[in-house]
Amino acid sequence: MLERVPLLPKHLHDYAEVVEAGTIERITALAAPLEGKRVLHLNATAYGGGVAELLTTHVALLRSVGVDAEWEVMSGSDEFFGVTKGVHNALQGAEIEWGAEQERIYLDRVRDNAVRLDGDWDYIVVHDPQPLAIRQLVRNTPLDRDGTKWIWRCHIDLTTANDRVWQFFQPFVEQYDASVWTMPQFVPASLSASRAVFAPPCIDPLSVKNLDLGMPFVREICRKYGIDVDRPLVVQVSRFDPWKDPVGVIEAYRKMRTEIDGLQLVLAGSMATDDPEGFEVWAQTEQAAAGDPDVKLLSNLQQVGSVEINAFQRAADVVVQKSLREGFGLTVSEALWKGRPVIGGRAGGIALQIHDGVDGYLVDSIEECALRGLDLLRDPAVADTMGARGREHVRQQFLSTRELEDWLRLFAELA
């Protein structure tokens, strides 16, 4: 058996006061025919990234509406996660070393997990490339039964996928009954879109990361990490990943600081078990910060968790998500939900969340990021207005109840 992730319960009706009218009733009606169905979600890590955050809420909400849902995590190794981190980069367009040895390392580890996968499931949802080949590797086993529907959820942007790497993975994708993507643009042209479903991720408004925090609490948390809430603050929350461009954010901050006295920058994120590259990017970012006391690099290694991230986002005058490639970027909706304007890289799912010039800005360069940051820092009233618009946009489109509806509809269609 694979490692099963324990979850705290969630209750759908607790969301009634924050979602739009009629939402709870729609979900209840969609869930009724699926009561008792067994659903397994499988991914590579129980913490440290957006997928883990999504599943913490989604699986618990499936249970709350009568679906028998579980979440299991595959086992890996440093060697395996080194290969799959390269795959993650390659599928977003990077050149990597790829050949028979990398394929062997990948398949051997997924095969080890395949023999440990068990259970009688109606639906198995596999997330991202790490466990993707498991569908192929359970052929002709008890798990390979007609009643089980297999779904692959791709959370990354394959718009410019490395051809060699994608050619290896595409046959595995084609064995699934359906695949779920954040945007139509992410689906490679070589893959049939007839079984592709489009459903952007969502945030949980009742999670610790998104619950309301009083300003005295926010102030105290920030003080603990050397952040002065009475001075201007720019925040980016994300993994330490080259595609999130933390070094570029530091360069934009330096341009803003020439005109905004006392400006501070917080770069905060988690170190995940399936991302060995994170420590390298941390070191590069630390070098770029060059000992500037007003640039704070923070992670779970400094005991930064969901409450702290919540406080940093609420304290921010401007939130940045300057991604060069991005599957979605949950931190954009998180910040908008807190009423903060966001400057986002014009990449992937960020463009779904930000209406350029309405609730934030989309930018294509360090210079543009700095200019838009200065616009918001110089006019706090406009920034607050944009943030308020963003909160309503998130309420309508990017709360976890909408994602729950999407999955219930897909399960019903595949039944």
Parts of the chain with a pLDDT under 70: 193-194, 272-274
How many whole angstroms separate alpha carbon 268 and alpha carbon 301?
Answer: 11
> Tens digits of per-residue pLDDT, 45-61?
998 778 999 999 999 99
In 3-state terms, what secondary structure has residue 4? strand
> Contacts from 323-326 at CB under 8 Å and sequence distance 24+?
323/238, 323/243, 323/244, 323/245, 323/347, 323/348, 323/350, 324/242, 324/243, 324/244, 324/245, 324/248, 325/92, 325/93, 325/156, 325/157, 325/243, 326/157, 326/243, 326/350
Tokens representing 209 are 């990361």
Buried b (16+ CB within 10 A) or exposed e, 308-341: bbbbbbbbbbbbbbbbbbbbbbbbbbbbbbbbbb
Tokens representing 187 are 């689906």
pLDDT at residue number 274: 63
| Residue closest to 403 by CA, chosen among 349, 345, 354, 341 | 349
* Cβ contacts of 214 within 8 Å, gap of 6 or more: none
Other beta carbons within 10 angstroms of residue 280's beta carbon come to 11
Beta bridge partners of 267: 236, 297
Sheet holding 123-127, edge to edge: 3-4, 68-73, 38-43, 123-127, 149-153, 178-181, 196-198
pLDDT at residue number 76: 92
Does 3.40.50.2000 match the CATH number of domain 3-202+400-414? yes
Cα dist. 22→13, 124, 323, 348 in Å?
12, 29, 35, 30
How many whole angstroms separate alpha carbon 126 and alpha carbon 313?
Answer: 31
The owner of tokens 């954009």 is: 332
The gap from C-alpha 32 to its chain's centroid, in whole angstroms, comes to: 29
How many whole angstroms separate alpha carbon 239 and alpha carbon 219?
Answer: 24
Tokens representing 403 are 């994602």
How many whole angstroms separate alpha carbon 39 and alpha carbon 37?
Answer: 6
pLDDT at residue number 277: 80
* Cβ contacts of 412 within 8 Å, gap of 6 or more: 30, 33, 34
The topology under which CATH files domain 215-397 is: Rossmann fold (3.40.50)
| Residue closest to 368 by CA, chosen among 359, 356, 379 | 356
What φ, ψ does residue 40 adopt, rounded to 5°?
-115, 130
- In the chain, list all ranges with CATH 3.40.50.2000: 3-202+400-414, 215-397
